[in-house]
Structure 1
């Protein structure tokens, strides 16, 4: 009995020592710059004044459980680890087009998608870059969430000068440390949610570059040109800290052009409100990928993407948040297959460009291929 107790004692001591070592390693690892900073000082005071900040964190306009009833975090974690779908990522290299963004005609209204949620827009003489992630990794742990083969063909060096860098929220697959640091000298202004500016200032951006906003605010770009901040049904956070900064979507109201960028977020009544107040929307850029019924409250399913486009009276729909990283267990091409089927005979036009393909925003005749067909 004494021998058994001695073995148990040393086993427990060994386990506790391992836990302490791992805790120390985690503590120091998370002090690396990619984990960003939480708001403090005057920035925190402004955050705390927001009507959407309650009990120490931001909240959605309508609070919903992140995990859908009937599902569990443990169950979904088990599926992710042990029940992997062999088609969550393509085996083949994805096709792309390498566009010279620095020499686009300055008077052209165009859009270029880089995979996942990264989009470049040139409209009314202004250059806008949204949620760029060019490092090839969507996680603070190197190599853990790597970009698909062929999907990471653009880098910060390929970008022209950017008038406005729009960040929807501070998750790693939307706010990429390596990319925004490399872009700093090219960016005139960053527009982001309250609190997100703490990351940018920590990473070397000047306070004069950063425009932090709450929901339902206007950033005046030029006469007749406004970027309007819109709510989203989502979350934020880097590391173990949640909802200390604000997530959002954007409505770009340029002369003769309205473009909505959803960022991440589940379906709610904001789409109907946008349709009533601003519709028709010329281009609806909506997340359509990395979804699961288990977390439907914070990511739209393809059926909801279609519904959102209809509610906004969208003339064109560009589905994003797919074809670069695996963050869910559906087939990698399922979002494209489903939204293509759902969009048949709808009043909007579906745009499915290749990565890097120039989309002519004013054209009603440009056609797009179903480029994902035949890719293993």
Structure 2
């Protein structure tokens, strides 16, 4: 059974209580392949100078704006996709946010780096009080410092993997409002149970903090519904373990985007996303980590096209809400190809 969350350590010296921490770093169950200096430099140059033009939409993508009144009127168990891996959930008559990213760029600076394809459907200022912010890891496209600081005044608790909680504390979030968990640990907040589950990824926000905080996926459940949030992960046998231990799931929010064969260990190809959903014993699949930033070499619409074609072929129920659109988590609408007819940039 999952265990209770660990307290915040007194320093960032280490996490000896975690079985996944050694030699000053957290580790995947299976070691991550080394890239090497030359391969890493070559990949960086490719990303900077030879990106295809169609990785970015030519025009703004369609977004349904959300108002505070619409959120308050929405029925319980409503979900709104805000962009990338940011999802707003109304559950137990409270509001929950995953990996909130509201800044213009997924970058350490706001004058350079991947820029949004679309504005958030609602601003942080317009959001109602947030019961919990659920964080998967500390990469810039998942942990937005400006968003954390803006949300701190209206959020009851930040739920994070080990080390990420310490980062929040260093930014000024009080320890009493942080729960940081190791893999397979659980905590209960306002009637929901949150379990940190394994992922195959990495962490770091600079040149000197590689893998010094943990990464994870999340299982969120009450007595009648179970939700899986993948965070970022390569495909691994941990999905089946999670499905066997904590599934089945009514809805899986699964990373499907920013993939490439060269970094398949840490980001799934669409075929692997679908298999992970099957391993988890998911019912409905909602692809995330797409449609907001240019973080790979594929066309911006490709993740939607590939995963929906695969799901249709396998008879998997898939829902693809437009940014800002409300869905019922237990009875979401079937796939709608809102990305069709949206042109890509051609030069």
CA distance in 2, matches of 1:247, 1:55: 17
TM-score of the two chains, using structure 1 as the length reference: 0.84
Following TM superposition, by how much is the alpha carbon of 1:148 offset from its aligned partner in structure 2, in angstroms? Answer: 3.4
1:220 pairs with 2:220:
no
Question: Cα RMSD (Å) of the superposition?
Answer: 2.0
Residues 248-307 of structure 1 show CA distances to partners (whole Å, capped at 9, x for unaligned) of 110001221100000011011121112222332111101110011001000001010011
Rg larger in structure? 1
Residues 133-165 of structure 1 show CA distances to partners (whole Å, capped at 9, x for unaligned) of 101110012232343343434321122111111
Q: Is the Cα contact below 8 Å between 1:135 and 1:155 reproduced in 2? A: no
Q: Secondary structure at the match of 1:307?
A: helix
Matched with 1:340 is 308
CA distance in 2, matches of 1:124, 1:57: 37
The counterpart of 2:123, out of the listed 146, 155, 162, is 155
Following TM superposition, by how much is the alpha carbon of 1:84 offset from its aligned partner in structure 2, in angstroms? Answer: 1.5
1:201 pairs with 2:169:
yes
Q: Is the Cα contact below 8 Å between 1:145 and 1:325 reproduced in 2? A: no
The counterpart of 1:324, out of the listed 277, 285, 292, is 292
CA distance in 2, matches of 1:304, 1:222: 34
Gaps of 5+ in 2: 1-7
Residues 49-72 of structure 1 show CA distances to partners (whole Å, capped at 9, x for unaligned) of 2111110111111112154x9x92
Q: Secondary structure at the match of 2:273?
A: helix
Residues 326-374 of structure 1 show CA distances to partners (whole Å, capped at 9, x for unaligned) of 111111111001001111143431111110000111225x244201111
Matched with 1:349 is 317
Matched with 1:232 is 199
Gaps of 5+ in 1: 1-39
CA distance in 1, matches of 2:59, 2:34: 33
Give the direction of change, closer, same or farther, for the CA distance of 1:347–1:226 in structure 2 (3 Å limit). Answer: farther
Where do residues 265-276 of structure 1 align in structure 2 (5 Å cutoff)?
Answer: 265-276=233-244
Matched with 1:164 is 132
CA distance in 2, matches of 1:278, 1:237: 29
Give the direction of change, closer, same or farther, for the CA distance of 1:310–1:234 in structure 2 (3 Å limit). Answer: same
1:98 pairs with 2:65:
yes
What is the total number of aligned residue pairs between the two structures? 333
Matched with 1:76 is 43
Between 129-138 and 57-66, report the one with greater CA deviation. 57-66
Where do residues 107-186 of structure 1 align in structure 2 (5 Å cutoff)?
Answer: 108-186=76-154
Following TM superposition, by how much is the alpha carbon of 1:106 offset from its aligned partner in structure 2, in angstroms? Answer: 6.8
Give the direction of change, closer, same or farther, for the CA distance of 1:275–1:347 in structure 2 (3 Å limit). Answer: farther
